[in-house]
Chains A and B, each alone.
Chain A
Amino acid sequence: MSRANGAPRPRPGDPPITPELVEDHGLSPSEYELIVEIMGREPTFTELGVFSAMWSEHCGYKNSKRLLRLLPTTAPWVIQGPGENAGVIDIGGGWALAFKMESHNHPSAVEPYQGAATGVGGILRDVFTMGARPVATLNSLHFGDLEGARVRYLLAGVVRGVGDYGNCVGIPSMGGEVHFDRGYEENPIVNAMCLGIMRCDELIRGTAEGVGNTLMAVGARTGRDGIHGATFASEELSEGDDEASRPQVQVGDPYTEKLLLEASLELIASGEIVGIQDMGAAGLTSSGAEMAGRSGTGVEMDVARVPVRAEAMTPYEILLSESQERMLVVARAGREEAACQILEKWELEAATIGQVTDRGTFRVLEDGVPVAEIPALPLTEGCPAYERPGEESGEVRALRAQDISRYGELSGDDLRVAFLEVVGTPAVASKQWIYEQYDTTVRASSIERPGGSAGLIRIPGTDLGVAASTDCNGRHCYLDPRSGAAGAVVEAARNVACTGATPLAITNCLNFGSPLKAEIRHQFREAVLGIRDACAHLETPVTGGNVSFYNETDGKAVYPTPVIGMVGTIADVANVVGHSFRRPGDAILLLGHNRGELGGSEYLYALHGVVAGEPPRVDLEAERALTRCLPAMAARGVLGSAHDVATGGLAATLAECCLGRPRTGWPVGASLHLHDALPPAALLFGEDHGRVIVSASPADEAEVREIAARHGVPCTPIGTVGEERSSLRIHLRGESLELPLDLLADRYFGAIPRAMDDEP
């Protein structure tokens, strides 16, 4: 194949490299100079395309990698930290858990159904290319206000896309979150997370090892989809962009994905291959270059051998296409036939396109004629990293400083009405309409399905359970990115701990506006520091993640939204704790204490249209104690239920504890006495961190209190579980509310269906 050894020359028809062309490729003049220096010559058009993809924000992390280095990434249980397709941790019993989260915000804004679907496809591939079988997904969605017709269209399309893709591949959804706030009006956030399991010794890395080994393109054919998708994902959307973006819509094919999944796992188990990688963003370019870069070898491929779907594709197009459901496989020399047999069984197309070399370069031929040759390491690692200073926006500082105390005072019927309204805002209301479109029970391992505190699945054939939760309150992050991001970590940890599982590690998806703005850089830096502090305290290292910048339209950025995906384990799923009250007569206890922090709350937003105040403080020591205390209680079997307090405050949590899941028996009432000296609305709707509502039988109450005391967690009895189909009664200083359960259920379960069901 190396019959032509000369240096690549421009192809006929290549445009000349001008400063404008360089700029169109998203490269700065100084970056271009660096490229020329690396190459020792001017790059060809094809090479420029390759650099532009690899040095885009999406692949090159140029505005984030310095800060990301601050994150804690190690712990004895971490097998694979950041840098691979997915992070991997040891979860005991010889099992390893691979997990990762990714964003598909821009594609979902352009075409919600395909954008979300292909997002799920990509994250599944990241997990199964590590050798792990995907066992569950989660998703984190942030939209504008649900009143808007476009938001409803986006929500309906995104949910259908997430569902259709994961359902077809047969991966259960175990949870997620959905927020609604005008901060996301133009730019929805669509993040998907996947968890996979494998035996610890089955781990495979995305490397191209062994000179002479064979590169194979496997799966779907390469078309002209999403060329420059990687750069596109890194550029702000602007008015009138729809037209230009059209060819960049990629269509997902979950059926081919399912075949790829089975074939990949069989290939890995067979030992016929040494490496495998998804052709994700920047397609063949990033998969080839990264595999070469990681193993310090080189690769050579001939684009004429790549199976294509469209006619007359140029090397530039083939290298940069983002057609979905494709993989690059490195087969052992001499074992190609055996690998092909496995692929044939799964009805997948495979083509030999090149080999591993010792040239240290990413080398591309077209029908034997060299068209690109770039040193692999500088291509993957040499992208310049920027860390320009940030500065907080004065507007945000002013919002945070606003006095919101007057909103805390409410009484009588106003308080009752507010309670019902908070429980019925789309952000708080049940997400049943959404998660019932996701298969949540396939694989017959779902112990805690969506609708509770966190999802939890059992590893088949064992008692071992894996819990996961995705969380981020973007409004809190907007008002204070550091405490907001730390809050996302502790909320996710609390959700996991409520099931009885011990939080172990996180992945993340950092969704921000343009890093070219000082205020966004400030947000990003603060958020990373918040995650760093929280993860360090909770001993939940970061094993991977994703950065999505440029989530802006016409200069207006989304709220800073660092979504956290937390995973944890429980040794015996028999000890898993549900979120809702179970037995009349059980004691209800509050772990942590009420502070009445209304800043950035759903109550202020939904009832007063206000986004202001100091968001809830995060006490990392208290959170650490709380997330250790809950698994200890669960292991003793003394909890009837546990549910954390977050969006919507105590009101939302208590309503959920009473209402339980839809379609599973009747809701149960409760009677509560809250003695805190706080304004009533602040007490009921404040989103103060560090709180969990638990219930326990009268016989177990003492032990619950004792375990809490041992962990230094405040534990206050606040009431008793009532009868089925009765009401939720709350007495606070001078006020008393009675909320019939059928009314609460109507608000909580009815809000999103009422908004959505008229949609086509």
Chain B
Amino acid sequence: MRIAVITFPGSNCDQDCHRSVEAAGATAVPVWHREISLGGTDAVIVPGGFAHGDYLRPGAIARFSPIMTPVVEFARAGRLVVGICNGFQILCEAGLLPGALLRNRSLRFQSHDCALRVERSDTPFTSRYREGQVIRMPLAHADGNYYADRGALEELESEGRVLFRYSDAEGESTEEANPNGSLNRIAGIVNEGGNVLGLMPHPDRAIDLALGSQDGLPLFESLVDSVHQRTPAQMAAAEGRALAGTAR
């Protein structure tokens, strides 16, 4: 199985994602942002970093890179796409995920471990976790403060599309555990079709106990499992929901 890892000028977690994919048993395929095809890969990761220096707004310039045309098509076809940190910001700017990531409430870049509660385990990205499981991984961003208007937020919640929420070590999702001011303490969400994931913390930096945590590895393993198991019917269903979502 081959998973594309996109590199924009300014991406700096592409190698970390590459290693994470390989640790989960798949082959990582580096794809430069000026490519116009995903080369028949089975899933896509948009890694973290500072694509185009994050100038203007994080993700604002990157979403116009040539590779984003096939990525958007791929996502609309119900195939699996993951955006981590800057990747999440890019997917929001590209309209594949709702909302936006604003400046952290602290106004500072924040780099530290955080605890997350896994809200659902019945998704292509979280099947290797338990629902309610508390996981730890680093976060490192200046703009991770998730915002969506009230309607979009209600939709996310009622449709169970929040997959990861900031919490304390016991799994209580309290405001004290909210590192950046995100609405509803949202750390990661999926699109209408459930096939596009965006999250701010870095599972790609938590794949090995020597680094302090391997809680990120199941995310990549879930992805690999899902690509193996995904049936055409599931993809079509996701595609239908993704298109319905865009129409709104």
Q: Is the CB of B12 within 8 A of A169?
A: yes
Q: Does residue B138 face the partner (Cβ distance < 8 Å to A)?
A: yes
Within 430-465 of A, Cβ neighbours of B (below 8 Å) are at 435-447, 458, 460
Residue among B111, B138, B202 having the largest count of chain A Cβ atoms under 10 Å = B111
Instruction: From known contacts A167-B109, A442-B205, infer whether A255 and B53 are also in contact, taking CB-CB under 8 Å.
Output: yes
B21-64 vs A, Cβ < 8 Å mask (1 yes, 0 no): 00000000000100000000000000011101111000000000
Complex Cα distance A345/B35, Å? 12
Instruction: From known contacts A441-B202, A444-B19, infer whether A163 and B210 are also in contact, taking CB-CB under 8 Å.
Output: no
Chain A residues closer than 8 Å to B54, beta-carbon distance: 168, 255
Q: Is the CB of A446 within 8 A of B211?
A: yes
A150-164 vs B, Cβ < 8 Å mask (1 yes, 0 no): 000000000010011
Nearest Cβ on chain A to B60's Cβ, whole angstroms: 13
Q: Is the CB of B53 within 8 A of A436?
A: no
Q: Is the CB of A447 within 8 A of B108?
A: no
Q: Does residue B163 face the partner (Cβ distance < 8 Å to A)?
A: no
Q: Does residue A253 face the partner (Cβ distance < 8 Å to B)?
A: yes
Q: Please tell me which one of the listed residues A170, A446, A663 contacts residue B49 in the complex, with CB atoms under 8 A apart.
A: A170
Q: Is the CB of B9 within 8 A of A347?
A: yes
Q: Does residue B112 face the partner (Cβ distance < 8 Å to A)?
A: yes
Q: Is the CB of A442 within 8 A of B19?
A: no
Q: Is the CB of B52 within 8 A of A436?
A: no
Q: Does residue B239 face the partner (Cβ distance < 8 Å to A)?
A: no
Using CB atoms, name the residue of chain B closest to A348: B9
Q: Does residue B121 face the partner (Cβ distance < 8 Å to A)?
A: no
Chain B residues closer than 8 Å to A1, beta-carbon distance: none
Complex Cα distance A167/B140, Å? 9
Q: Is the CB of B210 within 8 A of A663?
A: no
Using CB atoms, name the residue of chain A closest to B11: A170
Within 57-101 of B, Cβ neighbours of A (below 8 Å) are at none
Q: Is the CB of A258 within 8 A of B13?
A: no
Using CB atoms, name the residue of chain A closest to B216: A444
Q: Is the CB of A460 within 8 A of B210?
A: no
Chain B residues closer than 8 Å to A256, beta-carbon distance: 53
Using CB atoms, name the residue of chain B closest to A167: B109
Using CB atoms, name the residue of chain B closest to A433: B108
Chain B residues closer than 8 Å to A18, beta-carbon distance: none
Complex Cα distance A441/B140, Å? 8
Q: Is the CB of B113 within 8 A of A664?
A: yes
Chain A residues closer than 8 Å to B10, beta-carbon distance: 168, 255, 258-259
Q: Is the CB of A440 within 8 A of B111?
A: yes
Complex Cα distance A346/B50, Å? 15
Nearest Cβ on chain B to A274's Cβ, whole angstroms: 26
Q: Is the CB of A258 within 8 A of B111?
A: no
Q: Does residue B16 face the partner (Cβ distance < 8 Å to A)?
A: yes
Q: Is the CB of A168 within 8 A of B202?
A: no
Q: Is the CB of A574 within 8 A of B210?
A: yes
Residue among A346, A439, A440, A460 having the largest count of chain B Cβ atoms under 10 Å = A439
Chain A residues closer than 8 Å to B19, beta-carbon distance: 444, 460
Q: Is the CB of A160 within 8 A of B9?
A: no
Instruction: From known contacts A442-B12, A443-B15, infer whether A437 and B109 are also in contact, taking CB-CB under 8 Å.
Output: yes
Chain A residues closer than 8 Å to B50, beta-carbon distance: 167-168, 170, 254-255, 258
Nearest Cβ on chain A to B188's Cβ, whole angstroms: 18
Within 328-354 of A, Cβ neighbours of B (below 8 Å) are at 345-347
Complex Cα distance A253/B53, Å? 8
Q: Please tell me which one of the listed residues A163, A259, A444, A574 contacts residue B109 in the complex, with CB atoms under 8 A apart.
A: A163
Q: Please tell me which one of the listed residues B55, B113, B140 contacts residue A442 in the complex, with CB atoms under 8 A apart.
A: B140
Q: Does residue A573 face the partner (Cβ distance < 8 Å to B)?
A: yes
B207-248 vs A, Cβ < 8 Å mask (1 yes, 0 no): 110111000000000000000000000000000000000000
Q: Is the CB of B111 within 8 A of A444?
A: no
Q: Is the CB of A170 within 8 A of B13?
A: yes
Within 581-626 of A, Cβ neighbours of B (below 8 Å) are at none
Complex Cα distance A253/B15, Å? 22
Q: Is the CB of B12 within 8 A of A170?
A: yes
Chain B residues closer than 8 Å to A345, beta-carbon distance: 32
Q: Is the CB of B53 within 8 A of A437?
A: no
Complex Cα distance A345/B9, Å? 10
Complex Cα distance A443/B20, Å? 11
Chain A residues closer than 8 Å to B211, beta-carbon distance: 441, 444-447
Q: Does residue B127 face the partner (Cβ distance < 8 Å to A)?
A: no
Chain A residues closer than 8 Å to B113, beta-carbon distance: 663-664
Using CB atoms, name the residue of chain B closest to A441: B138
Using CB atoms, name the residue of chain A closest to B16: A444
Residue among A168, A170, A255, A347 having the largest count of chain B Cβ atoms under 10 Å = A170
Q: Is the CB of B53 within 8 A of A442?
A: no
Q: Does residue B204 face the partner (Cβ distance < 8 Å to A)?
A: yes
Nearest Cβ on chain B to A577's Cβ, whole angstroms: 13
Chain A residues closer than 8 Å to B15, beta-carbon distance: 443, 460
Nearest Cβ on chain A to B64's Cβ, whole angstroms: 14
Q: Is the CB of B49 within 8 A of A444?
A: no
Chain A residues closer than 8 Å to B173, beta-carbon distance: none
A235-263 vs B, Cβ < 8 Å mask (1 yes, 0 no): 00000000000000000011110110000
Chain B residues closer than 8 Å to A437, beta-carbon distance: 108-111
Complex Cα distance A440/B211, Å? 11
Complex Cα distance A346/B52, Å? 11
Chain B residues closer than 8 Å to A446, beta-carbon distance: 211
Q: Is the CB of A439 within 8 A of B140?
A: yes
Complex Cα distance A62/B9, Å? 41
Nearest Cβ on chain A to B207's Cβ, whole angstroms: 7
Q: Please tell me which one of the listed residues A254, A441, A664 contacts residue B53 in the complex, with CB atoms under 8 A apart.
A: A254
Chain B residues closer than 8 Å to A438, beta-carbon distance: 109, 111
Within 172-226 of B, Cβ neighbours of A (below 8 Å) are at 202, 204-205, 207-208, 210-212
Q: Is the CB of A259 within 8 A of B9?
A: yes
Chain B residues closer than 8 Å to A662, beta-carbon distance: 112
Q: Is the CB of A443 within 8 A of B16?
A: yes
Complex Cα distance A421/B208, Å? 39
Complex Cα distance A163/B32, Å? 27
Q: Is the CB of A444 within 8 A of B9?
A: no
Nearest Cβ on chain B to A188's Cβ, whole angstroms: 20
Q: Is the CB of A573 within 8 A of B49?
A: no
Nearest Cβ on chain A to B57's Cβ, whole angstroms: 14
Nearest Cβ on chain B to A52's Cβ, whole angstroms: 34
Using CB atoms, name the residue of chain B closest to A463: B210
Nearest Cβ on chain A to B247's Cβ, whole angstroms: 36
Q: Is the CB of A442 within 8 A of B112?
A: no
Instruction: From known contacts A439-B140, A441-B138, A441-B140, infer whether A164 and B109 are also in contact, taking CB-CB under 8 Å.
Output: yes
Complex Cα distance A301/B171, Å? 64
Complex Cα distance A58/B20, Å? 44
Instruction: From known contacts A168-B10, A444-B204, infer whether A439 and B109 are also in contact, taking CB-CB under 8 Å.
Output: yes
Chain B residues closer than 8 Å to A445, beta-carbon distance: 211
Complex Cα distance A160/B16, Å? 25
Chain B residues closer than 8 Å to A460, beta-carbon distance: 15, 19
Complex Cα distance A69/B112, Å? 43
Chain A residues closer than 8 Å to B204, beta-carbon distance: 444
Chain B residues closer than 8 Å to A255, beta-carbon distance: 9-10, 50, 52-55
Chain B residues closer than 8 Å to A347, beta-carbon distance: 9
Q: Please tell me which one of the listed residues B48, B111, B202 contacts residue A436 in the complex, with CB atoms under 8 A apart.
A: B111
Complex Cα distance A441/B19, Å? 14
Chain A residues closer than 8 Å to B12, beta-carbon distance: 168-170, 258, 442-443
Complex Cα distance A460/B205, Å? 13
Nearest Cβ on chain A to B170's Cβ, whole angstroms: 13
Complex Cα distance A623/B78, Å? 63
Please name 6 pairs of A and B residues whose Cβ atoms are closer than 8 Å in the assembled complex, sorted by A: A168-B54, A258-B50, A436-B110, A439-B109, A442-B140, A460-B15
Taking A168-B10, A255-B55 as given, write out 5 further A-B residue pairs in contact, using a Cβ cutoff of 8 Å, ordered by the A residue number. A255-B9, A258-B9, A442-B205, A460-B15, A662-B112
Binding site for B on A (CB under 8 A): 160, 163-164, 167-170, 253-256, 258-259, 345-347, 435-447, 458, 460, 573-574, 662-664
Closest 6 CB pairs of A and B: A170-B12, A255-B53, A441-B138, A444-B16, A168-B50, A439-B140
Binding site for A on B (CB under 8 A): 9-10, 12-13, 15-16, 19-20, 32, 48-50, 52-55, 108-113, 138, 140, 142, 202, 204-205, 207-208, 210-212
